[in-house]
Amino acid sequence: MNVLQEGLGEIFTDPDPDHAREHFRKKNRALTNKLMTVREAVRRFVHDGDYLAVGGFGGVRIPTALLHEILRQGRKKLGFSGHTATHDNQILAAGECFDRCDIAYVIGLEARGLSPASRRYFESGKVKICEWTNAGLYWRYQAAALGVPFIPGRSMLGSDTFKYSGAKLAECPFTGKPFALFPALYPDVAIIHVHEADIYGNARIRGSTIADQTLARAAKHVLLTAERIISNDDIRNCPSDTRIPYFAVDAVCEVPYGSYPANMPYLYFSDERHLKEWLESEKDPVKHQQFVKELIFDTRDFHEYLHVCGGLRRMIELERLERMIAKPDTYGDEMEALR
């Protein structure tokens, strides 16, 4: 294949499928009980220097409990896949957990604005950067999940995003047209929050699956948090609902409201008031440090964090918002926080 151009960006992970196959060959195939605490999951499977990918979509179905625990346990020098990383990025940047990042979308918080703390971190020079796009990063997961070293595509062509990426431009051997080649991305660890899982890691996701079915198959290790644990019989009674198979999964943690303050489709809406407080605190680095200390470092676990954030009373309000049966004034209050 005739390579026409190469991006200047560094590829942080090994795209060779045979190296990955050596790992997958050794992966456990038995139906093993993988239930454990969030603390144990992070202790066993997330190490300094690992490359981390986060499921969900920044403010939707993110594994908040695992993200917090990565901070509490002081993980550093992680690689990070910035695939629409919004609140997940705010959390990891607050702990200065990563030092290299494949950027598709960071700093921005969609309709909520821009995160000053994330911006400071990315402008500090502490993070090595490689540019991508959301689909580009997705194709990289897809190549890994397929066991091929790259996938051709037409995103990024002609742009500076290509110039500062790790992609290559090559002439298609069939059509003679130029295509961008997206190298396989095998994360060391993927952390994903799901609606339901059994103790072996067979998991269900409702609503949009975003990139998570593919991500779970691309990553070398997968840690799940689930809103609730269901029986293996439940899984077998409706196998078409299984989105992630047990053999991809290394740890299963039961964490109700585990995506708070993000939106968990069909269960609870995002806590816009809390997210706004977080954003406000970021304007002053000292205040922000104190805010994060109180919420994450001074709480023992996710239950304590939920308690600090208003506990069950607040969760019920967010459940009502999600089902759109909240009183209009409550709803107005939520939307007010966005302005």
Partner 1 sequence: MTAYNRMELMIAVAARLLEDNSIVAIGTGVPCAAAMLAQKTHAPNLMMMFEAGGFAPILPTMPVSVGDSRTFYKALMATSMRDVMASVARGMVDYCFLGGAQIDPYGNLNSTIIGDDFAHPKVRLPGSGGANDLASHAWHSMVITIQDKRRFVEKIDFITSPGYLDGPGARERAGLPPGTGPHKVITDLAIMGYDPKTCRMRIESVHPGVTVEQVKANTGFVLTEADEVLQTQPPTARELHVLRDEVDPLRYVIGR
Q: Cβ of residue 33: shortest distance to partner 1, in angstroms?
A: 29
Q: Rounded distance, CA 337 to CA 82, Å? A: 26
Whole-number minimum distance, CB 266 to partner 1, in Å?
Answer: 7
Output 110 or 284, the one with its CB closest to partner 1. 110
Nearer to partner 1, 298 or 336 (CB): 336
Around 233, how many Cα atoms within 13 Å sit in the side-chain half-sphere? 0
Nearer to partner 1, 65 or 106 (CB): 106
- Distances in Å between the Cα of 329 and the Cα atoms of 111, 266, 321, 336 are 21, 21, 11, 10
Nearest CB to partner 1, comparing residues 35 and 117: 117
- Least distance (Å) from partner 1 to the CB of residue 83? 9
* Inter-CA distances, 280 with 144, 240, 273, 274, Å: 39, 43, 10, 10
Cα Dmax for the chain? 62
Q: Which is nearer to partner 1, 65 or 181 (CB)?
A: 181
What is the distance between the alpha carbons of residues 38 and 195, in angstroms, rounded to a whole number?
Answer: 16
Least Å from the CB of residue 109 to partner 1:
9
For the bound state, the minimum distance from the C-beta of residue 204 to partner 1, rounded and expressed in Å, comes to 13
Q: How far is the CB of 264 from partner 1 (least distance, A)?
A: 8
Cα separation values, 271 from 107, 113, 275, 314, 321, Å? 19, 15, 6, 9, 10
Indicate the SS3 state at residue 251: strand
Of 151, 114, 107, whose CA–CA distance to 129 is shortest? Answer: 107
Residues making contact with partner 1 (CB under 8 A): 56-61, 82, 84, 86, 103-108, 110-112, 114, 119, 122-123, 125, 131-136, 138, 142, 153-161, 164, 169, 177-180, 206-211, 213-214, 263, 265-266, 269-270, 272, 322, 324, 332, 335-336, 338-339
Nearer to partner 1, 160 or 304 (CB): 160
